[in-house]
Structure 1
Amino acid sequence: MIASGIVALRMLAARHRRRIEAVGVLLAALLGFAALHALLAEVHPHAIAAALRAVDPMRVAAALMLTAASYAMLTLYDVVALRAIGRPLPYRTAAFAAFTSYTLSHNLGFAWLTGGSARYRIYTAAGLDGGDVVRVITMASLAFWMGVVVLAGGALILHAAPLALGGFSIAPTLQHLIGGGISVAAVLLLALLPGRHRRPRRLPSRGSALALLGISAVDLAAASAALLVLAPGASASLFPAFFLAYALAIVIALLAHVPGGVGVFEAAMLALLPQLPPPALLAALIAYRLIYYLLPLALAGLLLALQERRQLQRPINAAAGIARFVMRGTAPALLAALVFAGGVVLLVSGSLPAEPARLNLLRHIVPLPFVETSHIAASLAGTGLLLLAPALFRRLDAAFLLARALLIAGAAFSVAKGIDYEEAAILLAVAALLQLSRGAFYRRTALTAALGTPRTGVPIAVAIGLSVWVGFFSYKHVAYQNDLWWEFAWHGDASRFLRASFAIAVALVCVAVLRLFAHPDTTVPSTAVDEQAAATALAHSPRSDAMLAYTGDKRFLRSPSGPAMLMYQVQGRSWIVMGDPIGARADWPDLLWMIRERSDAAQGRLLLYQISLDAVPLAIDLGLQLVKYGEEARVALAGFTLDGAEMKSLRYAERRAIREGASFEIVPRAAVAPLMPELRAVSDAWLDAKGHDEKAFSIGRFDPAYLTRFDCAVVRHEGRIVAFANVWGTEEREELSVDLMRHADAAPYGTMDFLFVQLMKWGREQGYGWFNLGLAPLSGIEARRLAPIWAQVGHLLYRHGEALYGFEGLRAYKEKFAPVWSPRYIAAPHGVGLARALIDLQTLVGGGAGSVARRARLALAA
């Protein structure tokens, strides 16, 4: 009973894992704000404002220099890690990847997702594979934490007085013992690492580890010192206790998973350093947020926007294409963070009292109702920016248009509500950066589709919670009464805060209701082919496998804005997309995001099957895991010839087939129907000989309605058809291929070789560019010692699975035609979702659950 209950709880937790994590993060944020409120119970808001104004400009300059030093060290993490794994890159590339990665992870949290995605896009564009990127991230992360531990140990050794942390006191002797133990452990760990020439690739050498440790120590010392110099009254003698509090606050913030550690980091610092005056420390923390977090984020956004602009003006070449790919992948993430920060600025500003002098000036220019309305409008604009930031990350053009408009409107409202020109300048700067990166937001969508989604609710809730806490803290001396809601006065800041908060709540409820009760798409996707839409889409496709649209076993999702579609089917809980989308490349992102959102709404999992390199960046954007499925063989027909030693076996097969009386013919599709009885006899004999059922989804089946759509290549022997294949050809004659290939047992030796050779010659005469021989599953998968498990299993099946499929033999057969090989991939959810999706894929390709059941019944009957 207990065991079954535990299993049920685990299943429930696994099913609702994301919801549980979201609730946990919100609770952590709530506890952080509650702790801040309790720690600052005796502090008046004016004291914090006075402390902020009292920060010495020289201290600000020192903090800026220390911040620059810290970020300089952060770039060196990647430089050393890349050399350690044997994949060094130019400093400019490594520094760019590290800087953008750390600015994102510092401000948004979830370092592996936010910063990791930026590193992945930049490094893969520079030639690294996913494993190399993971190794770089892992080394940098381990170096950071080792630096925290070692620097804490050094601080404990150097501190001679009793150490007070959050009300606890540690004697000097105990400090020295702990610090010494940490130092000895670090030295032993370094000594155990191998030398440069004896290390495995997964580990850094002793020299690299020492370099990373030194970089981490300097980085952390500079980062913590940047905060220390901002606190009035703080001195160098306080550094050991200050750094230990700083390190503990970082750990607490990371464990809480609150975006950017907002509220949690500040509460931890205030609790751990009671010897510093809370107003001065909180003022220093606010200034530190601006200098160490937001300023680098703005700088990264500016650099990316300028780089994006520069790349768009360059002539198109390979290097410019790679750079543009990187820019378009990283700029939206940074700009989304900046827009989100702009929304937070508007919300927090709306929760703070206005400057009396500016308000007095404003009362001589505009009437009070104008100010009241502008205050609410500014808060609503900030809320809109929070909701739009995730859509900017998805590169939606509607989000770009709305965000730009709200930034400009927010700047105008900031001036109108209190002459807050500082925040107006910030918002206009973000709008300018957004405009510079206009080309990065290329995904067309409806305006209403750009609003926030349930998955982005946690950071939005934290941001709004921060603004509400700031408001209640700022006006905690105000007696809250019912009359306060209806008080309209020039100095009625508390009333304006309450009304703006209510307006924000109403706006959020409206958005939630709009999404909850939006008119659902009740139409069941049809498996019938829309002839006109299919013909238009296929006309834009350079790939012959787009003809799978005519097999009759797929559903279709069409682009609302252009002649494009994708083919998919639902098997179990898996939504399986067949190949790349068909049609104009510009419509691919919209289609894939649409299918991603539909599968998610249906609590399904998305799998992209046999996608090419063209679709790989989009699969990464969708958050899917890439698995190499195999390699595709294509023969360039312009240079195809049977001359040369490597074509000896094909020459022999062709001559022998002709000598034995075989003949080749292309039957036009209008003449295929009368041959259907002969073709069916060949097909049935082939299926019986192989012991196979008809396959589905990724290949056609013997269906007269399907076969009569295409020309048919046939081989005759003594007047009888002994082999056939339906012929796929693209409209622009880019590619030629075959789908259904069947032959009788009585066919002469080398009949299929003869069919392929003759068909390639015919295709060359007809002006086709390529002949597609199809896939060799599991081909080209590396099984090195550090390769992922799926790669090692796939390679094992490829080498030793001949009895199951004949993987290696299929590759060897296609190799006879001297093809060009290109990789094809499967993109699926991470973890267990991948295995489940692959099981559903096998069921679907095998003909569906009905086919599996039918084979089982036949086996039992036998």
Structure 2
Amino acid sequence: MRRLYHPQPRSAQARIAAELSLAQAALAEAGPQLDPDPTPAEIRAAQVSARAAAQGDARPSWLRVAKRQAIALGLVVLFAGLLHKKLAALDTEAILTALGAVSLGQWALAGLATLGSFLALAQYDALIHRALATRVAPERARRAGWTAIAISQTVGFGLVSGALVRWRMLPGLSLVEASKLAATVAATFLAGWAVLSAGALIVLPQAVPALAPAQVQGLALAALGGLGALALAGLWAPGLRLGRVVLRLPSLPVMARILWLTVLDTAFAAAALWVLLPAGDAMPFTTLFPAFLLALGAGFVSGTPGGVGPFEVALLTLLPGTEGPSVLAAILAWRAVYYGAPAALAIAVVAFARPGTDAPAERRLVAPAPRLTPRLTALIVADRQAELGLMWQGEHGALLSSDLHGGWMIGRTPQALVGLLDPFGTAEAATLLPDLRRAARAEGRIGCLYKIDARTAVAARRAGWVVAPVALECQIDPRAFSLETPARAGLRRKLRKAAKTGLVTELACGPLPLAELGAVAAAWAQARGGERGFSMGRFTPDYIAHQEVVIARLGGRIVGFASFHATRASWVLDLMRPAPDAPDGTMQALIHTAIEAARSAGVAKFSLAALPPEATRVEGPGALIWRRAEAQAGATGLRQFKMSFAPSLAPRYIAAPSRAALALAAADIARAIHRPAPLAQSPAPRESRPTPPLRARWRELAARSRS
């Protein structure tokens, strides 16, 4: 038995006008304090307030800093003693003679190599500013970065001096934020150095005291394997917990950029030393580079100013066949070029520069918010894609077009910035693709498109993106739907079986029984190890209250429900939640009732959502998303369930700028779907979002009857 509500027909113009009025009126109650499009003055006020609170809550422990620097000073004394023993057997006059023999050309080449190194290391700060979303312009980030590094690597006390210089050069940052930035830059360099050193020792074996080159290669290979396994673990499980420490690794694109910058930085720094060696003691660069990396690491970890002591001891030990005076003379010259000159220039910049402020950037990439702006809400409600209702989950944002009359729903994974579905409003894919790619790069992510139709896929391919099929959307025309076809014989049997049990299905037109629906959803999630996410909705009372919902009852008790993204023109299946004891055929009965309700409402398109294509029929990286899912229990049953309605199948695609990017994005989307991050608790009341069309119409009639 089915109870359906039949709304009165309305003109298309009146329907759209009513829908937009409802959205604007509901969201007008949000108030300026929750407006996700604040003015520049409001942004600056909020930043000042947040930074003041951060400084109050995160005061540095000066005792801990003092202890750390005391250890560094102790290491200086220790290595000075070790270096003194090595220098005792050397001729000081020979060192000065070798230093005087450095030609003008060598000084010039060393200066150029130093410039190359600092151009690379300045990018560390620009990269970290992007990752931390500080909104500092890249030019200012690079200038503050190289001045901070030039001074801190020379005077020592790296974290403290580096933080103070960045704080001076970037007045928009608090001291706490500058300290966090300095620590992050140091950690990224150390991580890049570790990977590069291990790789260099494998390719260019280096003799180490008490270890043969083959043993050094084995240790380097083990270290590289461990670091690689850690990176992969961070890819599959962001926020990896190691004991009491939560490890949050940057995205793989950011890791790759860090490693490349480390290669450039250290290679130019080693070249600056290499060109200063006397011709008689010249050695292949491939011999010096691995020894230089190990010596640089020893100096960096020790924390001594400029690595003085540990660097010299390590380099002289690792290059035993060289003449001591000539090598020390080259190191002294190198320190003058690579440490002294940049530090003097940086001090002048810090003393006389007048740091400016960054103008607020155009806010076209809208972050997820409890309440969307009236403009964005109106665009979503009026669009042909009902599945844009996924934005009411509060997990996704939007990339708006330059005229703000359209955009793209945007999802984020640790590795990718994903344009979900097709552009909405008047936006065109060809216009938004460059914007999406730039936004992804600015966040250290891969640009990607997911579940796009054929038209958008063509635009992506023309832009040079790699495109692959990823899903099939199951579509039904409710106006032409009939059970009396051979293809739906199995569906008829399921419906008869459910009817014999006394199952009743109904479209919810009044207030939803959220407590009962929540209990069914919780039991379903517990039985299946949790809900899917990202491109699939998850049950929350606030979310489902703004969907069309069909409920199944047995003896008055709810035994299942299905919810739908709904507009005046289309419905899309979202949640299917049967109770553990739901009779066979319950879900088929729910969908059939929804189809009849959509037909009564004049809906032209009804979608059973996406169905993974059979992996054997898919080629390329796109198959990675669903190949594993197809092997899991339930995939075959889901296909049989949806195909019992004999839908027409429309292909959906995934796209990315390259094949490697497509494979990485596909794997990360698969992880985000099967292991979604917890949803943020939204304080927004349900009335701040549009009510689905049929329930809105029911409220209208109920209000009229009361009056």
| TM tier, smaller | 0.3 to 0.5
With a CA cutoff of 8 Å and minimum separation of 6, indicate the structure with the bigger relative contact order.
2
Which one has a larger percent helix, Structure 1 or Structure 2?
A: 1
